[in-house]
Each structure stands twice: as C-alpha cells, then as structure tokens.
Structure 1
C-alpha cells in the first residue's frame, strides 16, 4: 500500500527567496497592475482578456523563477465540486448549439461556467504572484506614496498604510498559530460516545475552547508586536521609508497597459463575443 503524500500548504504573504526582475519591481507598481487588471476583468471578463492576463502571469512567473513547489495541493473534493458544477451548468443549455446526431446540445451554460472558473483561477494567480514576489515591508510605504494626493482631502493615508502593514505582518503569524492549535486539538484523545446529542455538545465545547485559545494567542501576538514596534521607533516608521518607482517600473507598467489595451481591442472588435460585457 503506497503512502499518501502530504498536502502542500498554501504559501501566502511570504516572498519566494531569490532576486529577479519581478522581485525588484516597486510594490506600488504591482498594486497598480493588480488594480488595472481588476478593472479590466470586471467590465470585460471575456476569453481574450482572461487569456492575456494568464499570459502575463505565466511570463512573470518565468521571469521571477517561481518553483512549482509553492503551488498548493488541490484536494480531490474541489475537483469533484468543479465537475458537478460543470455538469449542472451544462444542463442550462444555450448557444452555441452542437448537433449530435438527432440531439441538439447547448454549450452556453458550460462555456459560461468554464469562463468564470478561468477568471477565478487567473485572479488567484495574480494575487499569488504579488504575494510571492513582494516583501510585506514594502507594501506600506508604497501605499503611502500612492495615496499622497489624497492627503489634500485630509484623508489619513499614513494611518491606513500602517494598518495595512500590521495586518499583512500579523496574518502569517496568526495562520501558523492556528495551525498549531488545530494540530494540538487533533492529538487529543477522542471520546467514544454513540449518543448524537452528547457528540454535538462535545463538538460545541471543543469549538468554544479552540476559539478562546485563538483569541488568547492573537492578543499575545498583538502585545508582542506592539512592544517590538515601540522599541523600533513607533508605527510611523512603516510608512516613512523611501519608496519611489524606477525606470523598470515604468517599463513594466507600460507593457501591462499595452497588453491589456490590445486584449480589450480584440475583445471589442475581432475575437470578442457579444455576451461577455457586464
């Protein structure tokens, strides 16, 4: 009997070690690219824009030398759910219609489901690329620089940048802590009880204990982080670091704008379909 391979955990907010052109890009450039692509796919979620963004992600992954090992293991349940969703969507029919002998099969619902699935995968890949190539410490200064024009409206951009930086720094630590708590819970001996009411009561008690432990760990981590921030000069240091775009950032942003513009032009003229705009 072959041993089951351990599942790969999702790696978030931790850059892949190494240097590359993508790693060296300014964090603000990556945020602007994500915003631009998000607007494009929101208003024109067609096959051409999705394919263009997927091509950009693939090229960026090659330039950043992202290893395949960072990809998480997809559970079988997800594949089953995707297959069930595709089957259900296929029953909706719609154009185009394919004739199989004397039976006409509408592929409209299936194609729509596949497009939505591809769009979700592309957006997840875009977020993962930013996470794997960007240091968390670079995000807050970039947000403060991008939001500088909003200071004229007395919007607390610096405070927002600090809050974002703290959230991004705390998320990986809390995720690790929750994994440890969950692993410790699984090591506890299970009571054998056939009564359904007692099982539900035990599960509720364990859930309350787990939530209480998670809140305690979060508060302890917050206290430790507060002491560390105070020792290093206060929270203002998060957004005070110099952060400016360079020549490579303007080139990268121009390439992304050009690719998105070409994809939009093709979507609206030659290769686009009439039912993709929202």
Structure 2
C-alpha cells in the first residue's frame, strides 16, 4: 500500500497547490457528512475518477483488498439486510425489504470515496508542501493567538515520520520472524514467551523511533530550525481557483439534486 509517498509525475493534479487539495477534501467531506446521499456520493466518485485519470495514477498503486475484508463486507451486508425497510421487492411470492442493505452499501461507498480522496492527496502532493499550505490556510487564526505555524510543523513532521517508522517496523518484524522458534512446551509457557516477544518488539520499536527522532532533530537544526518548514512561500495560482470552482460546482450540484429531484423521486 503506497501512502504518504507521492507518485512521480508532472500532471495538472500534481502541480496544484497543496492547500487547494486539502481545502477540497475538507469541503467534500463536509458536504458528504450533511448530505450522504447516492447523488452526492456518485458525483464525488466521478470527480475522483477524473482526477485519478488526469494524475495518471497507475493501477498498481491501489492496494489489494485482502480476502478477510471481503468476508467482513459480505457478513456486514447480510447482517444489515435483516434491518429491512423500503424499498421492497417480490421474489417467488416473498417480499424482501432492501432498505438496510442499501444503507450499508451507501455507507460503504461513502467510506471508499473518502479514503480515495485522502489517497489522492497523498499520491499527488509532496510532504514538504503540506506545512506551508497549512500555515497559509490558517493565517486568519493567528489573530486569535492560535499557534498555526507550530501545528503545521507538527503535521509535517508526523507525515515525514510515518513512512520511516513503517519501514523500520517491517524490518523489526522480519528480523523477529527469522529468529529460531522455541520448542513447544506447556500452553502457559507458550503464552508467556509470546508476551515476552511482544514486549521485546515494542521496546525495539520505541528505541528505533527515538533514534529516528534524534536524527530528524539534528537534520532540522542543521537546516535552520523548525521554523523553516512552514516558512516557504505558498499561495494558490489560477489553476487552483479553477479547481476549487469545479469542486464547489460539483458539491452544489449534488446538494441541489439531493434536495430536489432525487429527494422528490425517493419520496
């Protein structure tokens, strides 16, 4: 799964300002929170598909869904179907109420769309551009003495640290799996060895995280301090205003159709 690492490219989506992408995700998330209907979800999914096409995101970037997740989805759909509700269909003189199943499918589609939006920001945005964009977007909050720059720096450092820590944890897990297995003994002894192994792994992970933090602190100090992370010039351009206009138009169209045409037909 490729997250928090931008996919190489020089497309129109890659060149957009990071603040435009963050603001677009925030607006779309707010709209889908208050109007989680099929029409807004479908329009946002269409917009996401167009953005993926324009960004030339390869198919291999999308993570593979494990089998146990499909099993959980099927189990959740079957369980939700027992809730009933309209609409109802007749199959072999048996009335089946599909309201619960449709609600489950709608929530699942909403989750997939929101995850796709977050993944698009991750795949097309350099981590170094996040902190200046957050500092620019939060500039009005400085009047209230809110530490916007410190928040932006903390967010940037967290986004930089996640990929490194994930790689370190994978190395630790692989090294632990290469250790010779203990001879099977009483069940209580196996549980005790398992807990001791988990404790050793956590201790090693904490040590690695502290070492990485020390190295990152030295690198930041050598480059002028943490203030330089959010001090880079960052502002929207003409393409960003066009992108925001498209996002607002799609959201407005989805809300209007949900409240008028689709809402009337549903009733």
Q: Normalising to structure 1: TM-score of the pair?
A: 0.94
Q: 1:162 to 1:274 in 2, by over 3 A?
A: farther
Tell me the secondary structure at the aligned position of residue 29 of structure 2: helix
Q: 1:175 to 1:86 in 2, by over 3 A?
A: same
CA displacement, residues 3-27 of structure 1 (integer Å, 9 cap, x when unaligned): xxxxxxx111110001100000000
Q: Post-superposition shift, 1:103?
A: 1.1
Q: Post-superposition shift, 1:136?
A: 0.2
Query: How far, CA to CA, are the matches of 2:23 and 2:265 in structure 1?
Result: 29
Query: How far, CA to CA, are the matches of 1:267 and 1:181 in structure 2?
Result: 50
Which residue in 2 is equivalent to 1:81?
Answer: 72
Q: Post-superposition shift, 1:273?
A: 7.1
Moved more, 151-160 or 192-201: 192-201
Conserved 8 A contact 1:48-1:266: yes
Q: Post-superposition shift, 1:115?
A: 0.5
Conserved 8 A contact 1:22-1:64: yes
- Of 219, 229, 238 in structure 1, the residue corresponding to residue 229 of structure 2 is 238
Question: Stretches of 4+ moved more than 3 A in 1?
Answer: 272-275
Which residue in 2 is equivalent to 1:173?
Answer: 164
> Is 1:184 the equivalent of 2:169?
no
Conserved 8 A contact 1:46-1:272: no
Q: Normalising to structure 2: TM-score of the pair?
A: 0.97
Which residue in 1 is equivalent to 2:189?
Answer: 198
Which residue in 2 is equivalent to 1:153?
Answer: 144
Conserved 8 A contact 1:145-1:244: yes
Q: Post-superposition shift, 1:186?
A: 1.3
Tell me the secondary structure at the aligned position of residue 271 of structure 1: helix
Q: Post-superposition shift, 1:190?
A: 1.5
Query: How far, CA to CA, are the matches of 1:125 and 1:186 in structure 2?
Result: 33
**How much is the aligned-residue C-alpha RMSD, in angstroms?**
1.4
Moved more, 20-29 or 265-274: 265-274
Query: How far, CA to CA, are the matches of 1:99 and 1:77 in structure 2?
Result: 32
CA displacement, residues 132-173 of structure 1 (integer Å, 9 cap, x when unaligned): 000000000000001111111111111111111111111110
- Of 84, 89, 97 in structure 2, the residue corresponding to residue 98 of structure 1 is 89
Moved more, 180-189 or 19-28: 180-189
Higher helix proportion: 2
Q: Which runs of 5+ in 2 are unaligned?
A: none
- Of 36, 48, 66 in structure 1, the residue corresponding to residue 39 of structure 2 is 48
CA displacement, residues 75-96 of structure 1 (integer Å, 9 cap, x when unaligned): 1111111111111111221111
Q: How many residues align?
A: 267
